[in-house]
Amino acid sequence: MAVNYIPRRFNIVRDKERCIECGCCVRQCSNECHYFEAGGTTVLADSTNCVACHRCVDLCPTSALRIEKHVCDYRENANWTPQYQQEICRQAASGGTLLSGMGNPKPYPIYWDKILLNASQVTNPSIDPLREPMEIRTILGRKPEKLTVERKGKAITKMPPQVVVETPILFSAMSFGSISLNAQKSLAMAAQNLGTLFNTGEGGLHPDLEPYTDRAIVQVASGRFGVHKDYLNSARIVEIKIGQGAKPGIGGHLPGEKVNVEVSNARMIPEGSDAISPAPHHDIYSIEDLRQLIWSIKQATGNQKPVSVKIAAVHNVAAIVSGCARAGADIIAIDGFRGGTGAAPTRIRDNVGIPIELALAAADSRLREEGIRSQISLIAAGSFRCSADIVKAIALGADACYCASAPLIAMGCHMCQTCNTGKCNWGIATQRPELTKRLNPDIMHERVENLITAWNHEIKEIMGGMGINSVDSLRGNRLMLRGIGLSDRELAILGIKHAGE
Amino acid sequence: MLKEGQVRIPAGCAIAAIIDRKGGLINGSEIIKSIALMHDRSNGLGGGFAAYGIYPEHKDAYAFHIFYDNAEAQKKCEEFLFKHFNVDEAERIPTKKIPAIKNGPDIWRYFARVNRVRMRNARLDEGEYVVQCVTRVNDAYEGAYIFSSGKNMGCFKAVGYPEDVGAFYMLDKYDAYLWTAHGRFPTNTPGWWGGAHPFNVLDWSIVHNGEISSYDANRRYIEQFGYKCTMQTDTEVITYLFDHLMRHHGLPANVAADVLTAPEWDEIDRMSPEKREYFTALRSIYSGALVNGPFSVILGSGKGLLAINDRLKLRSLTAATKGDRAYFASEESAIRIVCPNPDKVWSVSGADPVFVPLEIHQKEES
Ligand code: SF4
Ligand code: SF4
């Protein structure tokens, strides 16, 4: 119908002089943008469905392709931007909720970019990471209030289950269903080789991941998919997923067409049925209920596994974190509103929740005011783009950081933000065999490892510059941070001074 | 300009200490000689001493040393003291006018025992009661500052070079079984006597050299447990860490030292299972109390002396023994000037804190 015009986003530009009509792009594009001219051998393109995933650009043997923004000007209007008009058109046609993939793309303040790091000069020497040991080993789990010793060298205190990771960077939850098994496998292999952890998400555990369960965090989410005693006992950490930064207060919906045999087995649901995670856990309507679930999991695992509770960063996050700690959570993961997702209602993704920087700072300060920060572990999540973001998060008070988008980018993701369509050309956010086979775990785990190894090096370098040789002394060390261009209120919440002070 | 406590001031320093493990007395002139040799490590903006065993006639009373900026502050502070303690004696601390030390506050000392009724009503043990009273005065009574609050010990400090501070307080008139000394090189001029070191809580006193890079991690750790780092100095936060670990958590001094200077994971991974378990638990529970960056610390107490150095040995600290005496100083020459032929001289390593217990004290206790 004529009233439903929505200009396309991109133009596929083919350099005819370079193109050898090999048809590679035709085979690669799951959105069917490239095609052979009817009955002919000439390759043509229809840009309507192009999402700028760059798969064709990357694979074209002659570099003949380029994607550019398609511009169709609207009359200038700062309020009624083209985006809102187009979304209205879409909803007027469909009557449905808008869906998006990946994290909040709106230009909200990114506090990482407004925080600067410190370095030593004169009064205090910087430390050369090539000469001196630089420790980034991190221990997750509940800590007793104090140590009791028989004498120097002999402890009496028995420690609750502790999980040692060789880097403060963990891979965040991505379920089998939302991403492919090959993508999960790549992360699992990387986690094992790096001495860190990956997170199965709420989709259960595929048998192929069993060799890696020693490095796995398994989730218990509101849908309880794939949860059974062996699942809980196989993992290093069990995580109760209360919320997700990309869609606080919202459940999940994996459409039936993505529930193939494998997904159905892992999730323990019938093939082809929709996998619905309710918005709340229907056995958790209050903090006491959370306590009961934590204790049930501890009983099911013989008190051998730390229990983590993952929540979305919402307005009252500090009080909620404190409540979780008191309910018995050993680890609390806070997911900021820029965290990624396989699919979320666009309105929720773009408007609900708060940035991880503020949530983390507020939660860490609150736990300290209550004198219980040192007894639990705090994991920050919700978009870490580089090692400096991680260093800033640790200095604000995190024990470790969950990363997902960055390792996905290492595996090929180009942030096209259409994970929800299930047509990911990079074989990540899809279950179609012809697409998932494009992602070879034997190669991709190395790229993920390289990325984290590079970040580890950079973290050590930054720490050395600060004169710190153990991540323990960076954690919560907010004097190492200064704000730039922030208001007094923002500085107060972050608990940092302004640059120049 | 902001005074110490309102701003964090990095400083370099010289430290020295002498202890007689059998309780034999050492004259103050010895420690002055030792610290004076390291004149160039200070810049005249702070010096001080702690002396143990100097008030035997009042050994069961807390000796409060207090700086007063004016008579009004003294009046208010005394009102508070007389309410919360039974004061046996109050006097001006004797000093000698010397040109190098000027613009000082009025300096008083009080020998006092706790008011038991108030203490019981507050439901605090004695140590906690005294600490809270001292904190109260230092926080809330403008112009009054309690800089020493132990039993049978005292701190003496001022803005000036340490040898001048020693002469000013006439420390050659005092004999102690344990002396520590400090010369300071702050990077600006606070000109406030309270900012000089040693820093003291109950009978713990600390002298320290270095600028720790873990300061805010340590501060935010310790402030969870009711401490307030009002001075914003490394020495203050290290004192509180020791006080917390030893007084609240009941850890022996050498275990508390292990917490602050825990070995590296590489090393821990190679240890015997028992030791590995000990250090892993210690680092896991007390990660916020690990001290990082360059430092050497001498902790004095009625039980003896503890000397620790940073994990990478970024700051110098030399130790020596001769007979019943042990000597410590930032530079070996500062030991040799008072003890030319020691039995043993070594460099204190990060992994190996040195604890010199006071033997008479242990006998008395057992
Ligand atoms: S992949 Fe490149 S060379 Fe091959 S048909 Fe497409 S544009 Fe032409
Ligand atoms: S995972 Fe795939 S679909 Fe999702 S943003 Fe990345 S490239 Fe696009």
The two beta strands, B354-357 and B344-347, are unpaired
- A2 Cβ contact list (under 8 Å, min separation 6): none
pLDDT tens-digit map of B6-61: 666 555 688 999 999 999 999 999 999 999 988 877 777 788 999 999 999 999 99
What are the sequence ranges of the domains in chain A? 10-96, 138-476
Identify the pLDDT of residue B231: 76
Q: Which of B233, B241, B140 is CA-nearest to residue B184?
A: B233
Left (φ > 0), alpha (ψ -120 to 50) or beta: where does B103 sit? Answer: left
Cβ(A123)–Cβ(B10) below 8 Å:
yes
Q: CB-hemisphere CA count at 13 Å for A415?
A: 13
pLDDT of residue B362: 46
Q: Residue A185: which of A453, A384, A436, A450 has the closest Cα?
A: A436
pLDDT in tens, A373-393: 999 999 999 999 999 999 999
Token code pair at residue A412:
């090929």
Q: A313 versus B139: which is more confidently predicted? A: A313
Out of 3.30.70.20, 3.10.129.10, 3.40.190.10, 3.40.640.10, select the CATH number for domain A10-96. Answer: 3.30.70.20
> Chain-centre distance of CA A489, in angstroms?
28
Closest ligand to residue A438's CA: 2
Q: Which residues of B are catalytic?
A: 13
Residues 343-382 of A with CB under 8 A from B: 368-369, 371-374
- Superfamily of domain A138-476 in CATH is Aldolase class I (3.20.20.70)
Nearest by CB: B217 against A152, A371, A473:
A473
Residue type at B23 in one-letter notation: G
pLDDT of residue B188: 52
Residue B68, beta-bridge partner list: B106, B144
Q: Is B81 on the interface with A (CB under 8 A)?
A: no
- Measured between CB atoms, does B272 come within 8 Å of chain A? no
Mean pLDDT of the region B117-129: 92
Q: How far apart are CA B264 and CA B13, in angstroms?
A: 26
How many other C-beta atoms can be found within 10 angstroms of the C-beta atom of residue B8?
17
Asked whether the predicted pLDDT for residue B3 surpasses 60, the reply is no
Radius of gyration of chain A from its Cα atoms, rounded to whole angstroms: 24
User: Is the minimum distance from the CB of A415 to ligand 2 under 6 angstroms?
Assistant: yes
A409 CB less than 6 Å from ligand 2? no
User: Residue B365 has what pLDDT?
Assistant: 41
pLDDT values of chain A reduced to their tens digit, one per residue, 501 residues? 578 889 999 999 999 999 999 999 999 999 999 999 988 889 999 999 999 999 999 999 999 999 999 999 999 999 999 999 999 999 999 999 998 888 899 999 999 999 999 998 877 778 888 888 899 999 999 999 999 999 999 999 999 999 999 999 999 999 998 899 999 999 999 999 999 999 999 889 999 999 999 999 999 999 889 899 999 999 999 999 999 999 998 888 787 877 888 888 888 889 988 888 888 888 888 888 999 999 999 999 999 999 999 999 999 999 999 999 999 999 999 999 999 888 889 999 999 999 999 999 999 999 999 999 999 999 999 999 999 999 999 999 999 999 999 999 999 999 999 998 889 999 999 999 999 999 999 999 999 999 999 999 999 999 999 999 999 999 999 999 999 999 999 999 999 999 998
| Helix, strand, or coil (residue B59) | coil
3-state secondary structure (DSSP) of residue A70: coil
A200 Cβ below 6 A of ligand 2: no
Beta bridge partners of B52: B153, B178
Long-range own/partner contacts, residues B95-99 (CB < 8 A, 24 or more apart): B95/B168, B95/B169, B95/B170, B96/B167, B96/B168, B96/B170, B98/B164, B98/B167, B98/B168
User: Quick check: B264 contacting A, CB < 8 Å?
Assistant: yes
Residues of A in contact with B310 (CB under 8 A): none
Which residues from chain B sit within 8 angstroms of residue A478, using beta carbons? 216, 220
Q: Does B71 touch chain A (CB under 8 A)?
A: no
Give strand ranges (E) for A38-137.
43-45, 65-69, 99-100, 115-117
B113, burial (CB in 10 Å: exposed 0-12, middle 13-18, buried 19+): middle
From the CA of A143, how many Å to the nearest CA of chain B?
Answer: 5
Whether residue A498 lies within 8 A of chain B, CB to CB, comes out as: no
- What sign has the CA pseudo-torsion B155, B156, B160, B163? negative
Chain B residues lying within 8 Å of A142, measured CB to CB: none
The alpha-carbon gap from B203 to the nearest alpha carbon of chain A, in Å, equals: 23
Atom of ligand 2 nearest to the CA of A415: 5
The pLDDT value recorded for residue A286 is 86
Average of per-residue pLDDT across B51-75? 95
- Residue B270 sits at the chain A interface (C-beta within 8 Å): no
At B364, is the pLDDT very low, low, confident or very high (cuts 50, 70, 90)?
very low
Write out the CATH class of domain B14-54+172-260+292-365: alpha beta
A295-311 tens-digit pLDDT? 999 999 999 999 999 99
| Rounded-to-integer distance, Cα B146 and Cα B141, Å | 10
Q: Whose CA is nearest to atom 8 of ligand 2?
A: A416
Delimit the domains of chain B by residue range.
14-54+172-260+292-365, 56-151
Q: What is the pLDDT of residue B2?
A: 53
Predicted confidence at residue B5, as pLDDT, reads: 55
Q: Scan residues 278-307 of B and list those with Cβ closer than 8 Å to A.
A: 278, 280-288, 290-294
H or E element at residue B144: strand B144-148
- Rama region for B274: left / alpha / beta (φ>0; ψ in -120 to 50; rest): alpha
Res A251: pLDDT: 86
State the alpha helices, DSSP H only, in A424-501. 433-436, 441-466, 488-494
Q: Return the CATH number of B56-151, one of 3.30.750, 3.40.50, 1.10.3470, 3.30.70.
A: 3.30.70
**In testing the pocket of ligand 2, which one of A179, A408, A439 has its CB within 8 Å of the most ligand atoms?**
A408
What pLDDT score does A399 carry?
98
pLDDT in tens, B262-286: 999 999 999 999 999 999 999 999 9
Using a 10 angstrom Cβ sphere, with 0-12 exposed, 13-18 middle and 19 or more buried, the burial of residue A399 is buried
Q: Is the CB of A30 under 6 A from ligand 2?
A: no
Would you give the DSSP letter of residue A179?
B
For ligand 2, whether the C-beta of A332 sits within 6 Å is: no
